[in-house]
Chains A and B, each alone.
Chain A
Amino acid sequence: MKIANLFKIVIIYFLVILTLVILIFPYYWVFISSFKSTIEIATEEPRLIPRTFTLKHYEDLFGLTYKFHHYALNSLIVSIPVTIISIFISTLAAYGLARGRIKGKRAFSNAVLLSYLTEPSMLVVPLFFIILLFGLYNNLLGLILTYPIITIPFCIWMLREFFVSIPIEIEEAALVDGANRLHVLTKIVLPLAAPGIFTAGIWSFVTAWNEYILALAFIAGLENWTLPLGLASYVAVYDIDWGLVSAACFLYGLPALIVFAPLTKYFVKGLTLGAVKR
């Protein structure tokens, strides 16, 4: 029995390590490639431990050719307002769905659910016409207005679960004490749901930060490119430097990871809620 247990433990650890290696290796590879000199990358055998070390790629990223900071700023200009809009709209709607006396709540809930399934590539042509109609082609404002469509459904869904799980007695007590709905919402419910709102906000930010196809279709010039577009351009036309591309990938992915790190536990738990409720 003990040997069987030991065997089981060994297998488990082996599989876990294998999984971690498969998962982490691409990041490791990109990370060290970003410090290898171009000569080593292009002319020598790929090595797991780099032979050379250079910060040149990171330097070049912030130069005029690659303008990483410029694109990052554009991405921020888009992502932050999108986050604010998403949180605002989703919180209100989620609370309305959770507690409001609204006819057709169920229909609206289902509609939100369906919207969650829309992939950006389904939306690119329809939204493109809207962009043209409002004269927002090649304008970051166009992105700010269209990204919430992608983020809102999920946020409403998640926040609704949060609101529903707050014991209704607290709210009813406040209502009895004479507060109106808005008061209840802002003074009592919101602080309790803060983790959920925070998570929704971070998720919206990450989604906007990562979005590619809509930006690809709606933004023309280099000036208004967001980071994903800029990044994809580093492997395009005239010159290619894989060390630099690696550095760009690393820097681009870092904020999303950092910003999300404190929330991973919540998110995993949130999935439990959501998935089970299905």
Chain B
Amino acid sequence: MSGEKPKGKISPSLIVAVVVIIVLLAALVYYATLPPKVEVVPTTVAIPTTIVTTAVPSTTVITMPTTVTTVAVTPTTPTPEKKEIIFWHCETPPLRVQRVEAVIRSFEREYPWIKIKQVPIGWDAIYSKLDEAIKTGTQPDVIQTIPALALYLYHAEQLLEVDDLVKEIDGKYHYAKEQLKMHYWDGHYWSVPTEAITLFLSYRENYIKEYAGYDRPPETWDELLDMVKKCTRDIDGDGKIDIWGINVPITRSLATDEWFWQQLAVNNGEVFLDTQVVLDSPQAVEALKFYLELRKYCPPGSENWGWAEQNLAFASGKIAFNFNFGGALATIAEYGELAKYVKGCPVPIPKGGRRVALSFGYGMGILKKAEERGTVDAVKTFIRYIMDPANYGYWLNRQPGLFLPITEEGEKSPSFWADPVVMKFRPIIELCINETREHAGLWGFMGKETSKMVYLIESTHYLAEAVAKAATGEMTPEQAIKWAAEQFRLEMLKH
């Protein structure tokens, strides 16, 4: 078969197709070349007084008071050497990246000899990117860490100890004790604590009142189970269940690791204690059984749900309870009417259990690379800048409600409380800050010694797999816990 149409005749549909393609291409190029919206630094940010004396109100990012360059802030030399800092972090959502950029720009205005380049890398890529960087000698100067990441870098001998800076900030702003220990092992601090994210239980006040008959949030496992059961029901009388009690994830992901560990921890269990794997314990089996009980009252299709779907289900009123970090508040706020009834409470504990709230201590790790490049002082300046209560709130609210202050002075930061989402959910945020201060706990840091292999939880997800195996009936809870403990021990041997 050769061309069916006689040569020279062009089909009309071809012309249409070509025209449409050209139009789409043009639209594409137009959008792609739109300048990115530059975030304006709001006037509520108190600029340190050393600039204000000559200030032009800082509502625009671009105009820089020309006198800034003559104001020496903290340099030890009259004209400090120009420094460039490479700053890695794992908060890739664009709003967070934008906020970091804004903070960096206002920092650079105050310290014009320091340039900072932020490199956001997704959580799932960070370990392999670090591997690559270490091999090729292209590590950053400073990296935002959570304890597991810091431990990983510590093992790879990449970190500098930061005792001096931690003590300095502690002296000025007073850290919460529970937070400090997440950055301390082998006699030194290996990352500078900057903030924390903490898990809590959100619930719908109207649901538990109307359907379960409770005027107050649950405090024990039994109460939670009772309320969850009663909130799984048909509410519009058509015979089909419309709302469910809760969702707890069973996917092979960090969400499941975290949610399950939370129940394990309040039941006096742990995965790693000091240098041992202690997962196989009756407490763990109890916790898993409780978790599976909760699964009975989860919505259909939730077997595949992660954070996003879960938060959506809660925000849209489909479930009555939701464990979450403060990041869910932004989604909840989108459903105006429904958000009115959302309240928060500490994680319920079983009889004889302990008050623990899963809390990730974020910090800044300074790499040996910075020493090589002579940027250590510059990095420390940046960290001091962030921890200053005048700027702290603005830095924390990269994701409002998620990142919580961990210093006494920082808790008072006005730019923190000025954020609309924070204002809207003030009681919840205050609860979170309290939990962070008093009851923060994290896997690997619950014992006398830090369990340095604890990053295995996040890299292998054996905990999540055990939950999934028990939830799908592949194994009994006892077998699943035993299996996970075995796997962790095998992994430890390999390293």
Residues of A within 8 A of B (CB): 38-39, 42-43, 62, 64-65, 67, 69-70, 72-73, 76, 162, 165-166, 191-196, 220-222, 235-241, 254-255, 258-259, 261-262, 265-266, 269, 273
Contact = CB atoms under 8 A, between A and B. Distances in A.
A65 B316 contact: no
B122 interface: yes
A239 B311 contact: yes
Contacts of A255: 21, 24
Contacts, number: 97
A266 B4 contact: yes
A258 B312 contact: no
B125 A220 contact: yes
B1 A273 contact: yes
Interface residues of B, number: 47
B61 interface: no
Contacts of B317: 43
B92 A222 contact: yes
Interface stretch (B168-176, B301-309, B484-492): B301-309
Given A235-B308, A237-B306, A258 B20 contact: yes
Interface in B420-440: none
B31 A193 contact: no
A191 B316 CA distance: 59
Contacts of B25: 76
Contacts of B311: 239
A29 to B, nearest CB: 16
Contacts of A269: 1, 4
A76 B2 CA distance: 30
Contacts of B17: 258-259, 261-262
B32 interface: yes
B3 interface: yes
A38 B95 contact: no
Contact of A236 (B2, B7, B29, B306): B306
A69 B32 contact: yes
Given A220-B129, A221-B125, 18 more contacts: A43-B335, A43-B338, A64-B94, A72-B28, A162-B2, A165-B2, A195-B3, A195-B5, A220-B128, A222-B92, A222-B122, A239-B311, A239-B331, A241-B312, A259-B17, A259-B21, A262-B17, A269-B4
Contacts of B306: 236-237
Contact of B312 (A220, A221, A240): A240
Interface of B: 1-5, 7, 11, 13-14, 17, 20-21, 24-25, 28-29, 31-32, 36-37, 92-95, 98, 120-122, 125, 128-129, 306-309, 311-312, 315-318, 327, 330-331, 334-335, 338
Nearest to B33: A69
A195 B28 CA distance: 28
Given A238-B307, A255-B24, A43 B31 contact: no
Nearest to B399: A238
Contact of B327 (A70, A196, A238, A240): A238
14 contacts: A42-B316, A43-B316, A64-B98, A73-B29, A192-B3, A220-B128, A221-B121, A221-B125, A239-B330, A240-B309, A241-B312, A261-B13, A262-B14, A269-B4
A236 B125 contact: no
B28 A73 contact: yes
Given A43-B317, A65-B93, A255-B21, A238 B3 contact: no
Contact of B308 (A39, A64, A236): A236
Contacts of A222: 92, 120, 122
Nearest to A273: B1
A207 B4 CA distance: 25
A62 B31 contact: yes
Nearest to A223: B120
Nearest to B331: A239
B11 A262 contact: yes
Contacts of B24: 254-255
Given A220-B125, A240-B312, A39 B335 contact: yes
B129 A73 contact: no
B304 to A, nearest CB: 10
A238 B308 contact: yes
Contacts of A166: 2
Contacts of A42: 312, 315-316, 318, 335
B360 to A, nearest CB: 15
Nearest to A42: B316
A235 B304 CA distance: 12
A210 to B, nearest CB: 17
B31 A69 contact: yes
Contacts of B11: 262
